[in-house]
């Protein structure tokens, strides 16, 4: 054990119980790799190891993770470009013999898996979520995760739709979430959507859904939004799946400080002419009723 293999943008090291992947820091290294820095992958989190020809005369070692073993790859849901896949290591073609030796060494450490290689891991994730970032700027607001219990969306005065402004900043306890949907910012429709337990998505368009933040040019970059989604997903998976107690839903909004802030925000919308007198009165009454 302790063998180290250096490839493009990363090194692999075989330890007694895990494959340790350390990523380089440099202008040519994908920013996602720089954010991840290091990943410790228990051998039981791997399904197989492959060696295939790569681009421009390279060969690629691919430690294939088991479905559901890694929150990062679960959140990515197959949307990552091959060059940004942290489980792929490219080496010069003249090192193919060494790469083949590594494939055999690593494959021998992977324990026998289920008969169906697509069978998902049960229970918690086998790979720890990335350490950060736990906040990022989206086109229509800022997403913040406290690392364990709550996700908040604070809307932008310029990017958020009137529907989101009228709903006020949102606070979602992790215990009320069933999952996270991440759509890459590298394709149209990029967004991060929180999935609420026992609730259906009420707005197909993420710019109208208060449980979503929208990406855009320069907003919600992969190296920021994907580790965020993975961290939230890991927290959701780690929570007990007990029913939410009656009255617990919306408890964050029942906090006097939160309610006061939302009423202040509502007043700003009213003075700006974005809500009518009737809407202002009705919403204020609703907020006061949460206390």
8 Å CB contact between 253 and 153:
no
* Residue 247 clears pLDDT 70, i.e. is over it: no
Structure confidence by residue, pLDDT tens digits, 53-105: 998 899 999 999 999 999 999 999 999 999 999 999 999 999 999 999 999 99
82 Cβ neighbours under 8 A, 6+ residues apart = 88
Structure confidence by residue, pLDDT tens digits, 98-125: 999 999 999 999 998 765 655 666 667 9
149 Cβ neighbours under 8 A, 6+ residues apart = 173, 174, 175, 235
Runs of H (alpha helix) within the chain: 31-36, 71-76, 96-109, 162-167, 222-238, 256-271, 277-289
- Is the Cα torsion angle 244, 124, 204, 84 positive or negative in sign? positive
Q: Which of 2, 5, 202, 235 is nearest to 98 (CA)?
A: 5
> What's the pLDDT at 224?
97
- Percent of the residues in the chain that have a pLDDT greater than 70, as a whole number: 82
Per-chain mean pLDDT for the chain: 87
- pTM here is 0.81
CA 15 → CA 18, 42, 51, distances in Å?
5, 9, 20
Structure confidence by residue, pLDDT tens digits, 172-207: 999 999 999 999 999 999 999 999 998 776 667 999
263: helix, strand or coil: helix
């Amino acid at each position: 054990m302790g063998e180290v293999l250096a490839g493009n943008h990363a090194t692999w090291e075989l330890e007694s119980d895990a494959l340790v992947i350390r990523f380089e820091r440099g202008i040519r290294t994908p920013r996602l790799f720089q954010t991840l820095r290091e990943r410790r992958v228990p051998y039981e989190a791997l399904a197989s190891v492959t060696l295939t020809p790569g681009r421009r005369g390279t060969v690629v070692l691919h430690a294939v993770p088991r479905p559901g073993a890694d929150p990062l790859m679960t959140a990515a849901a197959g949307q990552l470009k091959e060059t940004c896949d942290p489980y792929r290591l490219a080496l010069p073609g003249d090192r193919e013999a060494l790469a083949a030796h590594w494939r055999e060494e690593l494959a021998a450490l992977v324990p026998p898996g289920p008969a169906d290689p697509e069978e998902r891991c049960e229970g918690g994730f086998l790979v720890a979520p990335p350490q950060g970032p736990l906040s990022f700027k989206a086109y229509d607001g800022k997403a913040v995760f406290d690392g364990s219990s709550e996700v908040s969306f604070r809307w932008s005065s310029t990017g958020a739709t009137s529907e989101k402004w009228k709903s006020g900043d949102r606070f979602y306890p992790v215990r009320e979430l069933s999952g996270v949907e991440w759509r890459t910012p590298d394709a149209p429709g990029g967004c991060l959507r929180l999935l609420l337990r026992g609730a259906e998505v009420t707005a197909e368009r993420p710019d109208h859904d208060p449980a979503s933040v929208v990406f855009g040019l320069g907003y919600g970059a992969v190296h920021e939004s994907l580790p965020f989604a993975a961290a939230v997903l890991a927290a959701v998976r780690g929570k007990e799946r007990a029913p939410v107690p009656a009255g617990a839903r919306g408890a964050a909004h029942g906090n006097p400080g939160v309610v006061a802030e939302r009423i202040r925000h509502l007043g700003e919308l009213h003075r700006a002419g974005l809500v009518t007198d009737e809407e202002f009165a009705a919403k204020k009454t609703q907020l006061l009723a949460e206390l």
